[in-house]
Amino acid sequence: MDKILPDWIESKASVLSYIDVDAELNDDNAFWYFLTACCPLIYEKYAVILHPFWINYKAKREIESGIKLKEDDLKDLDYEPLTWSDFFNKFDIEFQFDTAYKSKQQLEKKLLKSDWPDYLWAPGEGDCEFGDLKRICDTIIEISGDIDVNFFYCMLKTKDWEKERLLQDKLSQLDSLYKNEELRDSPTAIFPDSKEWYIVSDYDLPLTFIGGSTDLIDKVLKLADIDIFEIKPRFRVKKPAHNI
């Protein structure tokens, strides 16, 4: 069904909305600024998933040995995910969550200036990895059951790029949405009408926010092999959001 977002998140998830945060955005406060801009601050706890970097070890070995690879030689299936910590370590940079966004920006600028290597991919923007998102949803199902939820796709995540889509189904049906040819990648947001929890992947950001009860967030934070961290709000919305 085609449907507009409810008021409590319309200004948070829609591409055509704007939030006036009571802080100026910079690389030092980006995690907390984006939390305020993307997630309604109505929950007991929040967490952020850092979308992984990707590396093609086979291509890396060949390129470093002097072999010139063509685009067709670089197969998507040959790329493996890397946590931000593992990626930073490859460049002798210590990972600290509070400074991770700034370190990422500095490292990417450095790599771009020196010709970004073909065997590395930056984190996907606006697209939480399916495996990570699936495990989060399975955890929610363990806590709350297979409830009815809303799967929101901003217009840029649809095939025609013409209008937003809001689909309603059981949470377990996340898998089937990846097979829908009218949609692209993971949902922009997932939420129940009850507002018990909220998951959002802003189209321009390499991270996904989750808000919910202390019990839910604590269980999600224990999931292994997901680059996920608790995050506490630092900012508020300066004034009511307005569309631009």
- Summarize pLDDT for 94-149 with one digit per residue, the tens: 999 999 999 999 999 999 998 889 999 999 999 999 999 999 999 999 999 999 99
What is the pLDDT of the chain when averaged over all its residues? 91
Length in residues, the chain: 244
The residues spanned by each domain of the chain are 7-51+125-243, 53-121
Whether residue 14 is predicted with pLDDT greater than 90 in this model: the reply is: no
- State the burial class of residue 110 (Cβ atoms within 10 Å of its Cβ: 0-12, 13-18, 19+): exposed
Of 3-12, 82-91, 95-104, which gets the smallest average pLDDT? 3-12
Rounded alpha-carbon distances, angstroms, from residue 4 to 148, 196, 206: 17, 19, 25
Residue 20 pLDDT class (50, 70, 90 cuts): confident
Whether residue 80 is predicted with pLDDT greater than 60 in this model: the reply is: yes
State the Cα angle at 132 between 131 and 136, rounded to 5°. 115
Question: Amino acid identity of 227?
Answer: D
Residue 1 pLDDT class (50, 70, 90 cuts): very low
- The more confidently predicted of residues 244 and 7 is 7
Whether residue 13 is predicted with pLDDT greater than 90 in this model: the reply is: no
In this prediction, residue 7 carries a pLDDT of 87
Between CA 51 and CA 229 the distance in angstroms is 12
Whether residue 244 is predicted with pLDDT greater than 50 in this model: the reply is: no
State the Cα angle at 66 between 64 and 69, rounded to 5°. 90
Q: Summarize pLDDT for 173-221 with one digit per residue, the tens.
A: 999 998 888 888 999 999 999 999 999 999 899 999 999 999 999 999 9
